[in-house]
Structure 1
Amino acid sequence: MNFNFLSPVSDIVLAHNELLPEQALGRKLKIHSKQQGVPDLEGVQLAIIGVLETRNDVNYIGEDFNLNEIRKSFYALFPGSWNTIIADLGDINKGESVEDTYFALKTTIAILVQKGVIPIILGGSQDLTYANYRAYDNIIPMVNVVNVDSKFDLGDSAKPIKNTSFVGKIILDQPFNLFNYSAIGYQTYFNSQEEIDLMEKLYFDAYRLGEVSNDITIVEPVMRDANIVSIDLRAVKSSEVSLKQKDSPNGLDGKEICAISRYAGISNKVTSLGIWEYKPSKDDEITAMLISQIIWYFIEGVNCRVSDDGDFKNENNYQKFITLIDDQDLIFYKSIKTGRWWIEIPFLNEMNNKLKRHTLLPCMHQDYIDACNNILPERWYKAFQKNCV
């Protein structure tokens, strides 16, 4: 397989790996090394890739970094009761230009996703999510992106792409493949009122930090509908991370970010995960370990996947509930296998055929209870409005 863009895992990490117990994760991975080359992907379900690119960070001052500490931490963990084969494919180095790095990442992700391998991308600046998104151009017609972040990152799309403005590029650049964008854990004081208004105007989902911390389960249906999940480490509060990583006294704690990652793993739709904005420092062990645990919980989630998306072809697999709000029938489905809920979005006949596959929107049991009490579920309303635009 042609993975020319990937450089092997460093000898320092491999030497460290040799000292680990036989049961450790690092001893069970297929690892890209100088000696062995890129491992065979036969049977591999998840692949770790590093991307050593930060030049489009608004605060870039020319520094380089590596991911050795993350790998050492991750390799030293013990796997759960997993049946997945995991590979570490090494790193994509900085290209001659940032566009070259984007191309390398886009191409690598596209190859992996088409082979049924879920890439876990560890990176520099979050603008690389744009390359992750573009990898899907020829794979699926419409893409849902979830951004776990304190900011929306819409930015000014008229200006060159940066790690604070990549979502604007995703929305406005052709081909237009974005169906929905959801922001989880945003903090209002980090976002201009114009951006907050734009999120509303575009009917995108946004969940404030307080909402998420109050009830972490609201993240589950959002993740169930996601193809790409992008985690900005700046969404994590300062007390949980190393010196250079500190961004805000408020944010998600370690337990919450790991729970969110597990929800992403459980989703049958999520086919790539990016963890961005890693900034190593001398006291780095704590951030490296947090990232390792985020990855661990994502893999744990993937191992707990239960296919219930196709259950609605057979009446014996689900229960159907209908409730009426303002002359509008709301139709809910509950999977008997998993207990998960969906709500039907009515489609207009003249609508773009690309959207046909989105007729069922994942939701919570609470949405059904609200509908019974004459409260229209907000995600249903936004999805319906989006289809009417």
Structure 2
Amino acid sequence: MEFDFLSPVHEDLLDEISHLNQQTIGAQISIHAEKSGIPDMDGMNVAIFGVRENRMAVRKTESPDFYQIRSQFYSLYPGNWRLKLADLGDIEPGATVEDTYFAVQTLVESLVKQDVIPVIIGGSQDLIYAQYRAYDKLDQMVNLVNIDSRFDLGDAEKMISSQSYVGKIVVDKPYNLFNYSTIGYQTYFNSQEEIELMERLFFEAYRLGEVTSDISLMEPIFRNANLVGLDLGAIDSSSANTEFFNSPNGFNGREICALSRYAGISDKVSSFGVYEYQGHLGQLANMLVSQIIWYFIEGVNYRTNENTISAKKEFIKYQVPIDDEVLVFFKSPVSGRWWIEIPFLSTVNTKLKRHTLLPCSEEDYLEACNQVIPERWYKAKRKNEV
């Protein structure tokens, strides 16, 4: 792998690793060092890299340094993982922000094509735009899930920023976005105009209170995602012991790690980004970020690969008549997870063949039995018809 824009992990960190217990992640991960170069990706499952770009951040700070987050992450012990991990070092800021985007897009695209899952530790969250653009040549429509207190829609006509990049994703060609979901939004951070736009576009939005009341209901949302972004500002400031995440409300440490694990366990998620990281956040915040990454990788380790044709042949089929519709549900006998079939319109977009089964919950099936059409099914069907 030749990516000359990647800088190696700091030599002092390699010295730290040499003193770690041999069972820690730091003693087992393949690391991009100045002497040894970039690790061979053959057989790798997950590749971590940092992006030291934050020129488009709403809150201006110096370029982030990922030394402390790596130090904390390397010191953790892996679970009973069967995975091979690599740390590719950092993408330094390019001459322009667009240069950085291109580097991120190129690297993510290359890794995804090799069936290696990139875990991006980013500066400003506009880097999701580059993460998304990596799917341009992969011949598929994509679903983006964003764990965030804001929708980050913004005005597509204006300059991109860390709180206004989704508009660019929606309007810029090529059009790859099938669905956008925001998990944990807080109403007072979003204008009514943006809330109404989310509705008109049939996007999905889940309020913070709705999510935290039963966090397990978010699992199907991640199961249908191709790429996931996590804004560290969605965490409440007390959980990270820092005022940089300047909202008293948000996810606590346990909740954000549970969401991260759901993202990892999804068979479809092929890239994961943690954004708005700042190098001066303090030891507690660094440990929380390292545990978020740990839980994502833990989820990847326990994937059941139920997207294969052979696995779907084993699904149990249920048909539920509602008015003029017959809703078709499927249940996996292995994991107990549920899906609902979306009517496929071949005349609309041939890329949508992969979206004919929409992940759902058992509650959706039980509500359908009580003649209530699941809202996610309705929105997905409407997007397919538009």
Q: Taking structure 1 as the reference length, what is the TM-score of the superposition?
A: 0.97
1:329 counterpart letter in structure 2:
V
Higher mean C-alpha displacement, 379-388 vs 345-354:
345-354
Pairs within 5 Å for 1:350-361: 350-361=347-358
Measure the CA separation in 1 of the matches of 2:320 and 2:257.
35
Deviation at 1:22, TM superposition (A): 1.0
Identity between Structure 1 and Structure 2 (%): 55
Which residue does the alignment assign to 2:156? 157
Which residue does the alignment assign to 1:343? 340
Measure the CA separation in 1 of the matches of 2:100 and 2:346.
41
Measure the CA separation in 2 of the matches of 1:246 and 1:150.
11
Which residue does the alignment assign to 2:170? 171
Measure the CA separation in 1 of the matches of 2:5 and 2:311.
42
Measure the CA separation in 2 of the matches of 1:349 and 1:94.
43
CA deviation digits over 1:312-355, x for unaligned, max 9?
A: 7765x121111111211000000112111000111234221111
Describe the SS at the equivalent of 2:365.
helix
Tell whether 2:365 aligns with 1:368. yes
Measure the CA separation in 2 of the matches of 1:45 and 1:349.
34
Pairing partner for 1:328 from 301, 313, 325: 325
CA deviation digits over 1:247-277, x for unaligned, max 9?
A: 2000001001100010011101000000000
Describe the SS at the equivalent of 1:179.
strand
Which residue does the alignment assign to 1:50? 50
C-alpha contact 1:185 1:209 (8 A) present in aligned 2: yes
Distance 1:191 1:312, change over 3 A: farther
Measure the CA separation in 1 of the matches of 2:80 and 2:375.
37
Describe the SS at the equivalent of 1:361.
strand
Measure the CA separation in 2 of the matches of 1:307 and 1:55.
39
Tell whether 2:168 aligns with 1:192. no
C-alpha contact 1:143 1:180 (8 A) present in aligned 2: yes
Measure the CA separation in 2 of the matches of 1:12 and 1:218.
43
Pairs within 5 Å for 1:219-238: 219-238=218-237
What runs of 5+ residues in structure 1 fail to find an aligned partner?
A: none
Pairs within 5 Å for 1:1-389: 1-60=1-60, 63-281=62-280, 284-310=282-308, 315=313, 317-389=314-386
2:24 counterpart letter in structure 1:
A
Measure the CA separation in 2 of the matches of 1:243 and 1:261.
21
Measure the CA separation in 2 of the matches of 1:373 and 1:200.
25
Deviation at 1:102, TM superposition (A): 0.4
C-alpha contact 1:323 1:330 (8 A) present in aligned 2: yes
2:178 counterpart letter in structure 1:
F
Measure the CA separation in 2 of the matches of 1:196 and 1:123.
26
CA deviation digits over 1:19-66, x for unaligned, max 9?
A: 2111111000000011111111121100001000000012225x2220
C-alpha contact 2:56 2:126 (8 A) present in aligned 1: yes
Measure the CA separation in 1 of the matches of 2:18 and 2:347.
61
Measure the CA separation in 1 of the matches of 2:161 and 2:249.
24
C-alpha contact 2:139 2:351 (8 A) present in aligned 1: no
C-alpha contact 2:232 2:245 (8 A) present in aligned 1: no
Describe the SS at the equivalent of 1:146.
strand
Measure the CA separation in 2 of the matches of 1:242 and 1:14.
28
C-alpha contact 1:245 1:287 (8 A) present in aligned 2: no
1:162 counterpart letter in structure 2:
S
Deviation at 1:244, TM superposition (A): 4.7
C-alpha contact 2:242 2:285 (8 A) present in aligned 1: no
Measure the CA separation in 2 of the matches of 1:197 and 1:338.
36
Measure the CA separation in 2 of the matches of 1:225 and 1:104.
26
C-alpha contact 1:92 1:105 (8 A) present in aligned 2: yes
Deviation at 1:224, TM superposition (A): 0.5
Distance 1:334 1:305, change over 3 A: same
Measure the CA separation in 1 of the matches of 2:58 and 2:89.
26
Describe the SS at the equivalent of 2:188.
helix
Deviation at 1:122, TM superposition (A): 0.1
1:303 counterpart letter in structure 2:
N
Measure the CA separation in 1 of the matches of 2:301 and 2:40.
21
Describe the SS at the equivalent of 1:265.
helix
Describe the SS at the equivalent of 2:308.
helix
Q: Taking structure 2 as the reference length, what is the TM-score of the superposition?
A: 0.98
> Which portions of structure 1, spanning 4 or more consecutive aligned residues, are displaced by more than 6 angstroms?
none
Measure the CA separation in 1 of the matches of 2:217 and 2:311.
26
C-alpha contact 1:311 1:318 (8 A) present in aligned 2: no
Describe the SS at the equivalent of 1:23.
coil
Cα RMSD over matched residues? Answer: 1.2
Deviation at 1:140, TM superposition (A): 3.2
